[in-house]
Structures are given as C-alpha cells and as structure tokens.
Structure 1
C-alpha cells in the first residue's frame, strides 16, 4: 500500500510540477527587447531656432545669466584660457542633433537667444492654469517663431506642478509654434524637481549634491530645461521620435530619467565630476566658466541611455 501511494505521488508530482519547472526555465531565459524610440515621420525643429524667454515672477540677474549661458553653450565649445575643455554642453547637444541626422535633416539646429520679457508683477496671478501657459508664450512671441520658454519664479504655482511634472512642452498645430514651461521648485517641491541638489521626498535619503551654480532652484531648472529642450526638438508636434503612446510618450530625455553619470540607478545620479573649489557636482562645462548638470539622453545609435560622463 505504501509503495502504491508513493507511485501515485510521483506521478502527480511529475504531472503538476514539471510544467512549472519548464515555465521557470523559460522565464529565466527571457530577456526584454532593447528600447527603441521610433521616428513617426513628423516634422522636427531645424535650421535657425530663435528662443524667446518670458521671466514670470522675480528672477535675479544672476539666475537669468545661469539659464541664458546654458543656451549660449549649446553651439559654443567651452573654453578655459583659450583651450577647449570637455565634457561640454555642446557635446551633449550634438547627441540631440543625431536624431535630426537620422531623420535626413542636414540643416541641424542653431539656437539663438532672441526676445526676452519680464513679468515681475505676475499679471495673471501666482496660481496659473495650464491653459494660461500658452497665453503667456504668445505674449513674448506673437509672431510664433522658433521656441518660447516660459519660466515661473519660486513663488508661482502652476496647475499640476510637483504632482505631475516639473515642466512641460507643447505646441500649437495651427501656427506650428512650440513652447516649454519650467518652474523654480525650490520653495514648492525641491525634493521632486530639484533632485539631486535636494533630498528626494521618496526613496534613499542620501546627502544632496552641491549645485554647480550655487542655486538649487535654478540649477534644478536647467536640468528640466535641458530635458524638455531635447524632447521638444526631437518630438515638437507629437509625431517625431518617441516610444509608447503618443499621449504619454517616452522621449529623447524622458526615456532616461534620473540618470546623469555612469553607474546611475534610482536614487543615485551616477559618477560625476566634482569642482575642486566648490565641491559642486557637474557633468558639462559651458561658456563663461559655467558648469552644469545635464540629463542622460537616449542614444539612437546604441539604443541605450547615454551619459556625457
């Protein structure tokens, strides 16, 4: 009787458990497909790109120069004592331009700082709806040329700010104009929008990095401006380069969120350069001796996230 029961148990174990072992083996052999940002054959930004800026709220002259110098650095190699130094903002920008070349765009993009306007009194108030961002963009760029940047100060709240994003990019299909909005989060949600220069709200609570331009809010803004700039020029009207659903796409920089240097993982920005005089962390040199932290980009040539250091 005992031997009969043992035989029954052996048959049952073979029938029920052997397939599950096969499933485990198949699962262990499965490797996810490499990520790929598909080009959907829509128009991309190209040629001379004038950038108009609206400073909404109070920004100091120092804060304005940090952001302006970033744009000036896109097409100019960083220099020190007349020697080109790297890694640089312009090198990072060249990776963005790879998307243009792959789409057959031989003209590239030449960014030019254009009209700047200040609205220190916050004429639409300090609690903005998303729909008002396009209205503000129109104020400084009524001719709908190039790219408009709407920057909100640290005491201005925007609908969805912090909860659903640190900035956004959009377009008007009728005028074929594009705009970017980014807010200064230092007083509202630095743990969400100024990381890694501020401790995150969630996750590992490691010490924050020293901001390269000694301004946590504005250095955080540069990170988000760079991210959205890369996304905008490669997917300006929603039918350029992206992966996933068009309404919630992974784009050139958003596909590599939170990565800044080699070895990055959630909660760790990666191996970065350190300024010996200030202790600040950075990964790119800019004009006028500036240093910046720039986000990783999805490299279409390798189908992997690329960090400049």
Structure 2
C-alpha cells in the first residue's frame, strides 16, 4: 500500500466508506502509489478455491452444489450516471487490428439491448443484468449498462516489464485524455509480450483504485488490468481454450485467438468485480473472491473442477461459447453469483 502523507486521511476514508458514498472529496493532493484491494483471481482449472458456503441446496454440478455466500461490507457499488457506467481502455503494447476489434466488440456488447439475436439466446447484456441485483446500503443497484466511451493505444511507454504501480501510471495518463470520473471504469489491457508483476503467478487480472489526488480531481477512481496470456500461461488464464483439468485438448475459441478469448473471460470477471466491489468494501468473500471469482471454473450446466460444463458450439467453426454479443458475435463468460438466488448464474 502506498504511503500517504496526510495525517487525517485514513479517518476520512473510513468515514466515506461507512457512508457508502461515491461523492468523493478532494482530501489530499499528494500523489500516492497503488492501493491494493481484492485481486481478480483465476486459479488453475484443477484447483478448488476455498469458498464461504452454506448447506447443499442444488446447483450446476454432477452432485448438489452448495449455496455460495458473498458478504457485503457496507461500501458502495457502481451505479454509474443515468444507469450507465463508462469504460475507458488503454491498449498497452502491440495488438493487431483484429484483436482490438474483438475486444471492442465484447465491451460494446454490454449495452442493454444491443445484441440482435433471438430473445431465447443468452447474451452478454443479460449476463451483466445479474449485477443489478447487487445493491448498496441505500438500495442503489449496479448500473444496467456499460458503455465503451473511448480507447487509446500506448506503445510501450513504460517498457515491457511492468509493476502493478505502473498500471496506475497508465491509468492516470489516460485520464489526461478522457478525464477522471469515479463513476467510470478505466481498463488497461497488455499485449502478450508484456510482463506484468504477479501475472501468471497468481492472477490473470487485477483491479485497484486511486486515492484522491490532483491527477484524479480529488476522487477515488476504480481501475483494472488484464494481460494477454497466449504465450505466458494459456493453461491458467485461457482455460478452457487451452488444455488443463479434464481437458486434454483446449476447446476452439469463438474468435480464433486463444489469448484474446482468454482475456475476455478475465475482463468479464474483472468488470463484475469492479462494479460490485470498487473500493474493497463491497461484495466479496473472506478470501477475496468476488462476484465471478466465487463461481470460478463454472461456464455451463454440469460443470465441475476441471470441466467447464455444457457450452454452445458454433456449427460452422466448432468453437465453444456461452453468450452472444453485438453483431451476432460469440464469447465465453464465467457464471456469476446472483444475490437474488444465492446461486451461480449465466443469465438473469
């Protein structure tokens, strides 16, 4: 955690957290290093994370799946503005035009009503509606819509070996272009030739927030990072599109790119984590697992550790997926814990 030089700041932060407010005051203008909250955790497909559960009541496994509980810690969730959360993206490193296009298409698929597919088909937008069941102390829910509001490219301005604190520097740099807004999300995506602290060792992505500073207009601003695992750890961060667990051969990715399709899985995990736990005092389990992490490894009915479950299959390409996006695009997203049912779900 970065060292803050304002004596009263921790008391004020605690007061803000207790009130659960996103109306953030310009407490201190000193620029602070990264403040770590809960990382987005994706373990290997054969590992079973310890989770806080109640008695067995049924679920998606071959045997009754126990009810999962995510504790609420009295903090805010992201309600956005006008039921909309803006996302600003930095593509760091080298991404091909197709890779950028695929990632943009996924992020545009969160806008409610954008998918032009049958109402009977599962969609990214309907997956996101599960987050609307997460509410704060004032019964204010997570915004129904995510909007890709802007993106920029950074060609290795900080090199190819980054610390987590460098991610915050890139976020602050993007704020000079897009502005700083505590009700928006800032996302850094790194290409497969970029090494990032902790990447592939324990995480596939992380999310943090900034302390108030002059650079953030006195606001705490949530942000996240996801790396491309294609050459560094596909078995960890691109599973099930890479072999692992009970899969001796990876499934065919819907967009033809093991790295980018793997990134999309983690981006989905990350966005849900930021929205429901933006400042580390929202919804999470004692071990840090959040809305999607609590359902880790579950992608379809019949899932169990090392097996993703029953998925949809593209008849032309043989690719496996579970949701449709904008322009009839196809993606794989993990199941998310639904606080209304206390079960892992794929759609509202």
User: Structure 1 length normalisation: TM-score?
Assistant: 0.83
Give the direction of change, closer, same or farther, for the CA distance of 1:106–1:165 in structure 2 (3 Å limit): closer
| Partner in structure 2 of residue 196 of structure 1 | 240
* Bigger relative contact order, structure 1 or 2 (CA pairs below 8 A, ≥6 apart): 2
1:135 counterpart SS class: helix
The structure with the largest helix share of the pair is: 1
Pairwise mapping of residues 46-195 of structure 1 onto structure 2 (< 5 A)?
46-47=79-80, 48-77=84-113, 78-80=115-117, 84=119, 86-100=121-135, 104-105=139-140, 108-120=143-155, 122-142=156-176, 143-145=179-181, 146-174=184-212, 175-195=219-239
For residues 223-276 of structure 1, give each alpha carbon's deviation from its aligned partner in whole angstroms, at most 9, with x where no partner exists.
Answer: 0000010011000001111121xxx41210010111100111111000000000
Q: Partners in 1 of 2:197 and 2:72 — Cα distance?
A: 31
Q: 5+ residue gaps in structure 1?
A: 1-29
CA RMSD of aligned residues (A): 2.1
Pairwise mapping of residues 176-255 of structure 1 onto structure 2 (< 5 A)?
176-200=220-244, 203-244=245-286, 248-255=287-294
Q: Partners in 2 of 1:255 and 1:273 — Cα distance?
A: 23
Contact 1:173-1:237 at 8 Å conserved across structures: no
Contact 2:112-2:145 at 8 Å conserved across structures: no
User: Structure 2 length normalisation: TM-score?
Assistant: 0.74
Return the offset for 1:206: 2.4
Return the offset for 1:31: 4.8
Contact 1:46-1:108 at 8 Å conserved across structures: yes
Matched residue pairs, number?
272
Q: 5+ residue gaps in structure 2?
A: 1-53, 57-65, 213-218
Structure whose CA Rg is larger = 1
Q: Partners in 2 of 1:68 and 1:89 — Cα distance?
A: 13
Contact 1:235-1:242 at 8 Å conserved across structures: yes
Give the direction of change, closer, same or farther, for the CA distance of 1:66–1:36 in structure 2 (3 Å limit): same
2:269 counterpart SS class: helix
